[in-house]
Amino acid sequence: MTHVQPITEFFTEIWSRTSEPLPPPEQWVVWATAAAALVLITFGPSWRLSRHVVTIAHEGAHAFVALCTGRKLSGIRLHSDTSGLTVSYGKPRGFGMILTALAGYVGPGLVGLGAAFLLRQGYAVGLLWLLIVLLALMLVQIRNWFGLLSILVSGVVLVLVSWYAPTEWQTATAYLVTWFLLIGAPRPVLELQRSRRSGQAKTSDADILAKLTIFPGLFWVGVFLLVTLGALVLGSWWIGAWSVSDLPKFGDLPKF
């Protein structure tokens, strides 16, 4: 019992932190984290490093959808050049394979959208712990050393912030991660099309989808871009303190 009690108290404390909604941060925090995310994404050196976060979300989305559609997951690899590979087995064609191939490029934006929804409900700390759980689940499927290092570093940073940082810093970190996923998701799609145009991405997700469906690869690039931009717009609406109640009522409109 003496060994079980500290563990029970630890998880009780985590549940207490994650299940308690927090008041929204001041607007300057929301937009400062958005600006910081934008700098990370648009500045070349920082993007080359931070892009690994998008790759983790990309490959995690492939893995999640593969499992949900009944495919057998073999492993995930994350590479130092920010590329990745998720291997699953099942029917080589069909709806499950299409959804699995589709999930990668839209994954970071949709994860960011889900994170924005949690932030809108006040669960900033809960979001951080949920991301830690998802990283832990990915960890058991990692099949190379760099991938292991990427997941461990990301997880340790989130654990340290979630357990030791003041609530204000936890909230700011949750907003930064969310903005980064939302704003950063469209950029790999644009990079994909550049690579396809130069003939360097013949086995990309878009080209795999072209072989699985009647639509060309460019169509699927357009789908990726539409979904990621849509997630960015909706997610920004949710966490930018805009709501339907903020819009002018019909009776408040100026009369001419």
pLDDT digits (tens, 9 = 90+) for 225-253: 999 999 999 999 999 854 434 434 444 44
Give the Cα separation of 85 and 11 in Å (integer).
33
Q: Which helix (H) or strand (E) holds 74?
A: strand 72-78
Q: DSSP state, 201?
A: -
Task: Return the sign of the alpha-carbon dihedral for residues 36, 39, 41, 47.
Answer: negative
> How much is the pLDDT for 249?
44
> How much is the pLDDT for 255?
45
> How much is the pLDDT for 220?
97
Q: Within the chain, which residues score under 50 in pLDDT?
A: 1, 242-256
- Contact 74/89 with Cβ under 8 angstroms? yes
Reading the block at residue 213, the tokens are 């469906």
Question: Which tens digits make up the pLDDT trace of 14-48?
Answer: 888 888 888 889 999 999 999 999 999 999 999 99
Task: Specify the residue for token string 């001041």.
Answer: 26
Domain presence at residue 248:
no
> How much is the pLDDT for 2?
55
Number of domains the chain contains: 1
Q: Distance from CA of residue 106 to its chain's centroid?
A: 9
Strand, coil or helix: 52: helix
Q: Which helix (H) or strand (E) holds 88?
A: strand 84-89
Q: Which domain holds residue 208?
A: 22-240
Give the Cα separation of 144 and 131 in Å (integer).
21
Domain presence at residue 5:
no
Domain presence at residue 133:
yes
Give the Cα separation of 38 and 56 in Å (integer).
19
Domain presence at residue 75:
yes
Minimal CA–CA distance to 184: which of 126, 118, 235, 136? 235
- Contact 209/98 with Cβ under 8 angstroms? yes
> How much is the pLDDT for 194?
94
Strand, coil or helix: 86: strand
- Strand partners for 88: 73
> How much is the pLDDT for 241?
52
Instruction: Report angle CA 51, 46, 220 to the nearest 5 degrees.
Output: 30
Reading the block at residue 184, the tokens are 């950063």
Minimal CA–CA distance to 170: which of 27, 22, 68? 22
Pairing of strands 84-89, 72-78: antiparallel
Q: What is the dihedral of CA 33, 64, 153, 185, to 10 degrees?
A: -30
- The answer for 79, left when phi > 0, alpha when psi is -120 to 50, beta otherwise, is beta
Minimal CA–CA distance to 157: which of 76, 81, 56, 63? 56
> How much is the pLDDT for 6?
72
Q: What is the dihedral of CA 242, 228, 225, 85, to 10 degrees?
A: 170
